[in-house]
């Protein structure tokens, strides 16, 4: 099958979309499919080439060009459409499936325009998260014009239906994680390796937007440190420029490490005594967050918030606290550092295995074959 994966934000190896789309593309290629990634272009990136062995075509104009507002709209909507046409002409083969990944429903216009231009491919729209854009909740009815819409949770599906998307358009397919990278490792050996012997590690990793709840975790730290002299908070931010606003407070204590450089993330997740993900909402975050599932796959206890999407995924597998509740979060961290719930850890591990890239890719391939 000849498949085009259209992506927004595929700008770097640390960016979440780049990681998940790359793993997905590799698995599709492993199953003897031909795959091309079409994404945005940065000034320093080549127009065409290979990204970790996958053909990639970068489209659009650099953002610093004159009339940048016009080019931003062009890059988001029309450039992907033009790129599909160019790649088909270049390879002299039509795409059978065109799969668009985005948060904003408006970007499903890429697929609608391709249909209007006469492309016969099956048009699949995946909404991986709720949009951070100001008008991100608008334009949901556009999704009725693509062939299939996939979302990661039943909660998300019901929200689409309530906003006018036809129920028969929607499929629930979870986002995947790479269980070949994230798996249990001996914590004590890793702590010895990193010079953190006898430390009780509380780990946060990922982007540090306001709705990720980083402020709440920072406010909970003094209470935890007071009760646990061996507690060490480690922050591994994904978006360094934004995360730097937290740097002064996170580097002022000997019981906090703020790590800006590349690290072996699976080892850090396995080494942690608890991963804390205090989300205020899931706007701009995958409907089934990779950090949550990766920690579960590493048999590391997780504390997150009682948002309905998260409870759908991990109820009975992780510790839930009320969003923005500092005292509850501190108490939950203290509790796990003293005595982790081994039954929850084992249940979480078995649940996370269902999200392997192999299993999720197989679900998408079945959808492609059924729909085409």
CA–CA distances in Å: residue 88 to residues 5, 93, 217, 226, 347: 13, 5, 49, 62, 46
Residues near 112 by beta carbon (within 8 Å), at least 6 away in sequence: 123, 142, 145, 146
172: left (phi over 0), alpha (psi -120 to 50) or beta: beta
Burial of 82 from C-beta contacts in 10 A (0-12 / 13-18 / 19+): middle
Confidence category of residue 232, pLDDT binned at 50, 70, 90: very high
Contact between 316 and 350 under an 8 Å Cβ cutoff? The reply is no
Please tell me whether residue 177 adopts helix, strand or coil conformation. Answer: strand
**pLDDT value for 70:** 54
**pLDDT value for 342:** 96
- How far apart are the C-alpha atoms of 267 and 65, rounded to whole Å? 41
- How far apart are the C-alpha atoms of 314 and 337, rounded to whole Å? 20
Q: Enter the tokens of residue 325.
A: 């509740």
Query: What's the average model confidence in pLDDT over 158-180?
Result: 95
**pLDDT value for 82:** 86
**pLDDT value for 103:** 87
Contact between 154 and 312 under an 8 Å Cβ cutoff? The reply is yes
- How far apart are the C-alpha atoms of 335 and 342, rounded to whole Å? 13
- How far apart are the C-alpha atoms of 317 and 321, rounded to whole Å? 13
Contact between 280 and 211 under an 8 Å Cβ cutoff? The reply is yes
Query: What's the average model confidence in pLDDT over 88-115?
Result: 92
Please tell me whether residue 360 adopts helix, strand or coil conformation. Answer: helix
The tens digit of pLDDT for each residue in 213-226 reads: 999 999 999 999 99
Confidence category of residue 314, pLDDT binned at 50, 70, 90: very high
284, pLDDT greater than 70:
yes
Name the E strands within the chain: 2-7, 34-40, 48-51, 54-59, 97-102, 122-127, 148-151, 170-172, 200-206, 231-237, 256-258, 274-277, 302-305, 319-321
Burial of 359 from C-beta contacts in 10 A (0-12 / 13-18 / 19+): middle
130, pLDDT greater than 90:
no
Measured from the Cβ of residue 312, the count of other Cβ atoms closer than 10 Å reads 16
Query: What's the average model confidence in pLDDT over 358-365?
Result: 96
Confidence category of residue 19, pLDDT binned at 50, 70, 90: confident
51: left (phi over 0), alpha (psi -120 to 50) or beta: beta
- How far apart are the C-alpha atoms of 342 and 344, rounded to whole Å? 5
Q: Which domains does the chain have, with CATH numbers?
A: 2-176+356-371 (3.40.50.2000), 187-355 (3.40.50.2000)
9, pLDDT greater than 90:
no
Tell me which of 68-77, 188-197, 280-289 is least confident.
Answer: 68-77
The tens digit of pLDDT for each residue in 59-99 reads: 765 554 544 555 566 667 778 888 898 899 888 999 999 99
- How far apart are the C-alpha atoms of 26 and 31, rounded to whole Å? 9
């Amino acid at each position: 099958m000849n498949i085009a994966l259209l992506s927004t934000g595929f700008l770097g190896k640390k960016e979440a979309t780049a990681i998940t789309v790359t793993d997905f593309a590799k698995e599709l290629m492993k199953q003897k499919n031909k795959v091309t990634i079409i994404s945005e272009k940065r000034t320093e990136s080549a127009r065409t080439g290979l990204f970790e062995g996958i053909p990639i075509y970068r489209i659009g104009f650099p953002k610093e060009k004159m009339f940048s507002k016009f080019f931003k709209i062009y890059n988001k909507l029309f450039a992907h459409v033009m790129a599909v046409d160019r790649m088909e002409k270049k390879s002299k083969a039509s795409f059978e499936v065109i799969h668009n990944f985005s948060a904003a429903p408006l970007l499903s216009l890429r697929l609608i325009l391709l249909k209007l231009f006469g492309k016969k491919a099956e048009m699949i729209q995946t909404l991986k998260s709720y949009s951070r854009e100001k008008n991100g909740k608008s334009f949901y009815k556009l999704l009725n014009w693509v062939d299939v819409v996939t979302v990661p949770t039943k909660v998300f599906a019901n929200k689409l239906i309530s906003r006018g998307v036809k129920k028969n358009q929607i499929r629930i397919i979870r986002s995947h994680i790479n269980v070949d990278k994230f798996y249990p490792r001996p914590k004590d050996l890793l702590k010895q390796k990193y010079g953190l012997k006898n430390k009780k590690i509380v780990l946060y990793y990922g982007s540090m937007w306001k709705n990720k709840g980083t402020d709440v975790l920072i406010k909970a730290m003094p209470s935890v440190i007071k009760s646990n002299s061996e507690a060490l908070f480690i922050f591994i931010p994904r978006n360094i420029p934004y995360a730097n606003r937290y740097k002064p407070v996170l580097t002022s204590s000997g019981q906090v490490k703020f790590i800006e450089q590349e690290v072996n993330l699976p080892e850090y997740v396995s080494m942690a005594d608890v991963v804390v993900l205090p989300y205020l909402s899931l706007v701009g975050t995958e409907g089934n967050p990779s950090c949550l599932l990766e920690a579960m796959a590493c048999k590391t206890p997780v504390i997150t918030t009682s948002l309905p999407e998260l409870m759908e995924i991990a109820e009975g597998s992780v510790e839930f606290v009320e969003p923005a509740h500092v005292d509850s979060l501190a108490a939950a961290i203290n509790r796990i550092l003293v005595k982790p719930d081994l039954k929850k850890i084992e249940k979480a591990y078995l649940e996370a295995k269902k999200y392997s890239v192999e299993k999720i890719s197989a679900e998408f391939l079945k959808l492609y074959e059924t729909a085409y």
